[in-house]
Chain A
Amino acid sequence: MTTLLPPSLLWWLLAIASLVVVGMLISLVTQRLVRHRRERRRAELDERLRPLVLEASIAEDDEVDALLARVRALDAEERAHVGRTVSLMLRGITGEAADRLRAVADASGLAPRVIAAAHHRDAVIRADVAEALGLLAPEGALALLLELADDPSSDVRTVAIRALGAFDEPAAIDRVVVALAEGSGVPTSVAASALLQQGGAVGDRVRLALEDDDPGVRRGAARVAGLLQASGTADALARLVADEHESVRLAAMRSLERMPVRAAVPALRSAALDGGTVGEAAARALVAMPRSWTADALADIAAVAQLGVRRAAGLPSAEARA
């Protein structure tokens, strides 16, 4: 008769496995109890403190001091909750209301706590700090963010670059442009969005970036140039239509859809006739330009371009024309 393992060993295994199961069940129940309790507590605090935060954000000037004094008088847990609430609200608010919220955060003692944690050994906390610095913009935030933009952790660098979008000082703009470079560890979309957020102040820097040696910088700048309608970038954008890197060519074409440049038409026509994804992008850029500039190019596309390019150009099919 077959017995694979000694029964005593099986009993031991069973006992251990059963203990593990019981442990897991306890862990399940405990997790849920703790979470529910925490959520209940947060809901209680929210019910009491959110009206105060909202009131402070829309208060008249003469009411603000009294409201901030109420915030300062809260206990540590309540002030921490106010800080969290303000941080969340600041993500979707700008202007005067945002300034008021920053004052509330200041009264809750959030800014000193954030600054104190800027060199925490945990990268996740440093990333949280970078996010908060961008939202709260306390004194010294820019210097700290520039420091965090060189953090060893790419997560922290990414959040810091995103946060630098809230600052339009030259140092911030320069650092964001550097983050566009390939191998910076910061996603191009994050750095380019930050540049976009910095707004009109970046015009000159974008113009320089379009000529940069790094294709990542040229790509990011090309995308932003069209969205910002940055003056003085037209010629450079037209040149980038023939860039050696496909992603740069595509970015330049996307920008030209929003910012027509007559000098780019010959290169766009040529790219469109070459077909493929770049050809389709070129066709879309041509369609967005005044018809008086592009009539010949579109006629060539209608005659000889690939079907996909003709479709991108919005041209009717031969059957439809017939």
Chain B
Amino acid sequence: MSWLHDTLEAIFAVIAWPAAAYFVLANTSMLLLVLLAARHFARYLRRSEHRGEDAMAASPLSLGVSVIVPAYNEAAVILTSVRSVLDLRYPDHEVIVVNDGSKDDTMRLLKEGFALVPDERDVPGRIPVRGALRGVWRSPDPAVPLLVVDKENSGRSDSVNLGLDLASKELVVMVDADSILEPDALLSVSKPFADDPERVVATGGVVRIVNNSRVQAGRIVDIRMPKELITRIQVVEYLRAFLLGRTAWSDLNALILISGAFGMFRRDVLIDVGGLDADSIGEDFELVMRIQRWIRHGHRESRVEFVAEPVSWTEAPSTLKVLARQRRRWHRGLWEVLWKYRSMLLNPRYGRVGMLALPYYWLFELFAPLIELVGIVLVVLGLLVGAVHPGMALLLLIVAYVYGTIVTLAAVVVEEASFHRYERWRDMGTTLWAVVAESLGYRQLTAIWRIQGWWAGLTNRTQVWGEMTRTGFAGATDASDAVMPGASATGGQPDRRD
């Protein structure tokens, strides 16, 4: 096996320094993003006393918001969900539920629950949709601004597009029927539009993990860490990548991804860019990229902003099977969107998006799992044939592990100093254990799934959405709570979780 030994030594001689540089760069950039976000939070929270949300909540001058709720087989949750969205604290919002050809009682429950009557007005047709329209219904009560659209099944993006076509307010927000929104969600996320209505074209809010938290009548009343380790690790991941990472990118005016589970857009801009791409797997990512391109092509001074306030809570996968499917899909979506917009990469015309955000996503998001797994294979082979010094390898591994842990721990420290939503000491303990455990198998496993997703994208394999199996929330205290999250959202629509 001396040829293998020699080959590996030759490979290590070439890649050792670039690999080390990559590792340091990847973690250091994440650390810088965390620090940038920490600075943002410090300013944001100091100003929180006089942001004027109460004045905004009472002002008839606030911009109107259309909340689009695509629903597929959501009979178990739909009434609670729609009522909780209608009850959000906001002076002028309408709710548009798009029933995406549900096979269960979703439509019947809506019709009966809100005594809907047919809406015989025209459908504008500003955005092409695929699913055939069956009918539009509205609440006869002017105090209940609810519109329900019934259509053939054609997927979430197409349903959102139809809702967008019927929206009448200045701003549009898309939420999932199974998400739980904070009462002030619309106020928080629409604030940047109110502050700068000419320039802000889209905002994203923080999506957090609800597993094991206590829910009452569609509202979270007690926030707890999830029970399962893999879900706890996702809490830490969400903190680091979504809350802090996106806050920092927003600060750099280079935000290219806002969550499909809660994003707010100016309606005219969304119609201008053609709504969601129904063929895209990462349709939320694709949409923001299209908006960023629209901004730069039109030499506009528009901005996409991220609001650090928690606004939406969603159930995260609690089994490896569902998590694997989610990560495959995310990475495939990432690849497809990055490839579609490759002309923006390192293109100064696109400013920080082209020169900073996209290189980061290519290098440290898309290629990361490949580089990590290749590294692991080479080191293991090197150890087996004696091309790598075991003691040195172990020491290097520990240093790398501790540095990675510092980055994640920094995110936890920032969360503790800012929003500190997990108040129990026990939750702190489980969070720290999740920080430690993330690099011990979980990250490597997700790397494998991500490569599988990438490969499926490269080979154009048909995407199967599958089911997002829900396990339910703890401590539900009435009938509506008990059923709300417990249903299995079957087929048809993807589980939008990032």
Contact = CB atoms under 8 A, between A and B. Distances in A.
Interface of A: 1-5, 7, 10-11, 13-14, 17-18, 20-21, 24-25, 27-29, 31-32, 35, 91-92, 124, 127-128, 130-131, 155, 158-159, 162, 187-190, 192-193, 196, 223-224, 227, 247, 277, 280, 306-308, 310-312, 314-320
B122 interface: yes
10 contacts: A2-B387, A14-B398, A21-B402, A31-B416, A32-B416, A130-B50, A162-B55, A189-B195, A317-B122, A317-B123
Given A2-B12, A18-B402, A307-B124, A124 B417 contact: no
Contact of A189 (B62, B389, B406, B410): B62
Contact of B125 (A11, A27, A131, A307): A307
Looking at B12, B50, B403, B416, the one whose CB has the most chain A CB atoms below 10 A away is: B50
Interface string B25-69: 000000000000000000000110110101110011111000000
Looking at A28, A29, A227, the one whose CB has the most chain B CB atoms below 10 A away is: A28
Interchain residue pairs A-B with the least CB separation, the first 6: A320-B120, A308-B124, A17-B402, A307-B122, A2-B12, A317-B122
A24 B388 contact: no
B227 interface: no
B61 A1 contact: no
Nearest to A226: B60
Looking at A2, A3, A5, the one whose CB has the most chain B CB atoms below 10 A away is: A2
Interface in B90-139: 120-126
Contacts of B428: 28-29, 32
A293 to B, nearest CB: 22
B253 interface: no
A1 B389 contact: yes
Looking at chain B, what size class is its interface with the partner chain?
A: 35 or more
A92 to B, nearest CB: 8
A37 to B, nearest CB: 14
Contacts of B479: none
Given A2-B387, A3-B392, A131 B406 contact: no
B268 interface: yes
A319 B196 CA distance: 41
B399 interface: yes
Contacts of B13: 2
A284 to B, nearest CB: 8
A118 to B, nearest CB: 14
B121 A27 contact: no
Contacts of B54: 91-92
A316 B52 CA distance: 41
Given A227-B60, A308-B126, A316-B120, A24 B387 contact: no
Nearest to B192: A187
A31 B59 contact: no
B124 A11 contact: no
Looking at A25, A91, A131, A311, the one whose CB has the most chain B CB atoms below 10 A away is: A311
B413 A307 contact: no
Contacts of A1: 9, 386-389
B124 A306 contact: yes
Q: Is the interface of B mostly helix, strand, loop or mixed?
A: helix
Interface string B156-174: 0000000000101000000
B382 interface: yes
Nearest to A125: B46
A5 B396 contact: yes
Given A24-B410, A155-B47, A193-B61, A2 B197 contact: no
B203 to A, nearest CB: 15
B288 interface: no
Given A4-B396, A307-B125, A31 B386 contact: no
Nearest to B268: A277
A187 B196 contact: yes
B120 A193 contact: no
A84 B397 CA distance: 52
Interface in B247-284: 267-268
Nearest to A320: B120
A31 B124 contact: no
Interface in B390-432: 391-392, 395-396, 398-399, 402-403, 405-406, 409-410, 412-413, 416-417, 420, 425, 428, 432
Contacts of B47: 124, 127, 155
Given A24-B413, A28-B412, A280 B168 contact: yes
A189 B196 CA distance: 9
Contact of A7 (B56, B392, B412): B392
Contacts of A192: 61
A13 B392 CA distance: 13
B440 interface: no
A10 B49 contact: no
A311 B121 contact: yes
Contacts of A25: 409, 432
Given A5-B396, A28-B413, A319-B120, 12 more contacts: A1-B389, A2-B388, A7-B391, A7-B395, A21-B409, A28-B428, A158-B52, A187-B196, A189-B195, A308-B126, A317-B122, A318-B122
A145 B196 CA distance: 23
Interface in B363-393: 382, 386-389, 391-392
A131 B420 contact: no
Contacts of A14: 395, 398-399, 402
Contacts of B50: 127-128, 130-131, 155, 159
Nearest to B125: A307
B389 A3 contact: yes
